[in-house]
Structure 1
Amino acid sequence: MNIPEPVRPEKVGVSSQRLERVQALCRRYVDEEKLAGVTVLVARRGQVILCDAYGQRDREAGQPMTLDTVFRIYSMTKPITTVAALMLLEEGKLLLLDPVAKHLPEFADVKVCVGMDVGGPILVEPERPMTIQDLMRHTSGLSYGWFVDTPVDQMYRDAQMGRREMTLAEAVTQLAKLPLAFHPGRAWRYSYATDVLGRIVEVISGQTLDAFFQERIFDPLGMTETGFYVRPEQVERFAALYNLTGQAVFTPILPENLNGTLHLMEAPAESRFTKPPVFLSGGGGLVSTTGDYLRFCQMLLNRGELDGVRLLGPKTVELMTMNHLPSELIPIGIGEKDYGYGFGLGVKVLVDVAASAEPGSLGIYGWGGAASTVFDIDPQEELITIFMTQFMPSGYYPIRRELQVALYQSILE
C-alpha cells in the first residue's frame, strides 16, 4: 500500500478536532447503511493528514473496507486519458485545435442531427470540425446514449454503443457512423468523447491504450494497483458494487425502482473487471486504489511532477486545469446543474465559489466516477481529497458537497 503515514493536521494548518467532522460524515453514511463502505483521504502541502476506511468492501462476504481496497473508478479514468493525450501534445504529435478527423479519418463525414421528420433524422454539415479540445472539454457533439432529450441518444441505444464486445477501434468506427447531437462547441454534453480521445492516443503512439498507460503513466508514477482489470492477486481486495434497485443493470433511480435498501449490484468475483477487457475504455475502464490515485493527484498538484519523475510541464497542467468553456455553457451538469463549475481538459473547474454555495477556492478541479468515487484538487490550499466507495448512481446522495463543507471548515490557516 503506497499511502504515506499521516501527519498531525495542525502541522499543515488544519484542526484535528474540526477534521473529525469528515470522519463522522463517513461513519454516518455507513452506519445508516446508505453506503456499504468508504475510504477517505485528505492531503495538504504534500502531507497526508487523514486516511481512513469505514464499513465493508463486501458485505455478503463479510470483508472489511481497507485502504488497499481496489475500486472501479469509472470516469476517474478520464483525467488519466487526458494526461496521456497532453503528453503527446507536448511531444508535438497533436494540437488541441486539430480536427479529430485528422487522426481518425472515419469522422471526416460526420453530420449533425437537427431534428426528425417522417423520413428519419434531419442531418446537416457541422458548422466547424470537432477538435481534440472539444473531446477533452465535452463540447464535441457526441453523447452517451443515456439521455432522452435528443433522437441521437436513441440512435446510440439502437446501435448498442454500450456493448463491451467491440475493441476500442471498432467502437470508435461505429460511433463515427452516428450523427452528432449538436454542432461542436455549441453545448456541453457528457459523452464517449474521452474514449475517442483514447483511440487518438493509440493511433498516434502506435500502442494500445493499456500499454501506453502502463509504460508512460503508471510505471513512472509507481501506480502499481491501477489497470484495466483486477489482476488475480488483487481479487480478494476488490470491492462489491451496490445500488438501491436490486437489479444488476443501470436502472433509472425513480421512486418505483427503489425499496430503500442497499442491494448487491455486482459481486467481485462476477465482475467483468476481473478479466482483461476487449474494449479499453479511456472514458471509464480503470480500477485503482486510494493510494494509487493519490499519486496521480499529487503529480497534478505538483504541476506535472512526482518524486523526480515529470509527466507534464507546469504550463501544460495549468492549461489542463483552467476553464475552457464560454460563459454561456456554464454551469455544467449531468442532469442537475453543477453550479459554479466550468470545465477544463478532462476535469471540472470551479469558476464561481458563491454560485457553488460551498466553501472552497477558485480553481478547484477534479472529477468523479459512476460508482460515487470522487477526487478534488485545490491548488490554492495545496489540498487533495479522494473519496472512494462503490455505489450507483453517482450523485444520488449529496456526500461530495457534505464532504467539501466538512473539510473546508477544518482549515485554519
Structure 2
Amino acid sequence: MTDMIRISLQPDVAAEKWGKKVSLTPTAEGFQIHLDSKQPARSIQKAARQLDGLGIEQVELSGDGWTLELQWAFYLGFTSAKKLNGVQWYGEEATQLQQLASCFGWARQITNQTPEQLSPEALAHEAIEFLTPLAPDSISHRVIRGEELLTEGWVGIHGVGRGSERPPVMLVLDYNPTGNADAPIDAVLVGKGITFDSGGYSIKPSESMSYMKCDMGGAATVAAALGLAIQKGLSHRVQLVLCCAENLISGHAYKLGDILTYKNGTTVEILNTDAEGRLVLADGLLYASETGAPLIIDAATLTGAAMVALGNDYNALFALDTALQQRALGYANLVQEPTWPLPLAPWHQQQCPSPYADTANSRPIKGGGSGGASNAAGFLSRFVPEGGKGWLHFDLAAAFNSSNTGLWAAGATGMGIRAIAETLRQEAGKV
C-alpha cells in the first residue's frame, strides 16, 4: 500500500447519487475517472483539471486502460504553471512519457517566465542549456547579438529589437549527429522569440499586452520539438534558428513608415509595429534558405486572426507545398495534437501592398483586416526558396491560454511540440 493518491479509469458512468454527467468520483485509494467513450482523452483531461483544482500535488495512475495517450491527456490537464510535475506514470510507456514531460515542462516553464526574467539573450541561452546535454558531442551553437545582426544583414530581428536596452539576438544551434562537419543540413526549425511584445508604437491595450510574455512561444515550441526528436533517436542534421527580441518603445525603436531591406532584396514598409513576428521570422527563413535544407518548419504565436478562426483548441498550419502539408496534418493527428489547415496561395504575397516598398508588413486596418493569418503567411512565403517547396508554417493559436479553461490551466500548453517533432522525424532526410 502507498499513501499516494491513486487515479484509475472506469468505463461505466457514475452512480446516480453523484449527479448527472459526473466524470470524477472518489474511491478508497483516490479517485476514478468515468470515461466518455466518444472522447476519452478529452474527458480525462477535464477530470485532471478538477483534481488540480482540489489542490492535489501528486498522483499515481493505476489499473487497466491507461494507454500512453490517455496518460498524456491526464498530465496536460493536471499540470499547471506552478506544478509541472506530480504524475507517476503507469506501465511500460513511462520512459516515453517522461521524455514528453521533460520537453513540455521546459517549454511551458520558459514561456510562463516573466518578461523581466527572460531577455532575448537569456532565451537563447536557456535553449542552449536545455538542448546541449541531450547530445553534447553533436551540438554546437552561435549567438549573433545586437549590432552584429545588422552587420550580417539580419535587419528584421535588429529592427524589431533595437528599441530595447536588452539587445536582440539570433541563435543558430546545429545538431549534427553524423560527425561529419560537411554533412548536408536536412532540416531547419525557425522560431519566433519575442520575449515581450508591447506592440511598439502600434501599442497594445493593457488587456492584450498583459500576457505578451507568451510571444516567444514559437521559439520554445521548436526548441522543445528538437529536444523531443533527439531523445527519440533523430539521426539527421538539423539546425535550430531562434529569432529573439523585445518589441518596446523608445527613442531608438523602429517606427511606422520605416522601410527594411532584407538580404534577398525584398523591401518592407512598416505599417504596424505590432506585426513584428513576421519581420523577425523573415530573417530566420532567409537563414534557413541559405543552408539549402529541403525541409523548413517555422512556428510562431503570430496572429490573433488564427485564434479567431480556430479558437484555442487548434494550431493553424500553412503551406504552399500541399503534399507536405497533408503529411504533416497526418503526423499531428497521429500524436493527437489538433491542427487545421488555413488557406495560403501565391497571391497572398500581394495582400499587404505598399506604394514605397515591395510589400508592407500589414494592412492599415485594425487587426490587419480580413484574412490576416493567411496574409501573414503570404508575407513569410516571400522568404522561402523554390516557391515554398518543403516549407511549413505553424501559427500557434493553441499554445497559450490567458486564463484557466476546462481543459487547461492558465499559461503555456506546449501544443505544437509533438506535431513538429513527429514531422521532423518523419520528413528529415527524405529528399
TM-score range, shorter chain: under 0.3
RCO greater where, 1 or 2, for CA within 8 Å and sep 6 or more?
1
TM-score, normalised by the number of residues in structure 2: 0.25
| Bigger proportion of residues as helix | 2
TM-score, normalised via structure 1 length: 0.26
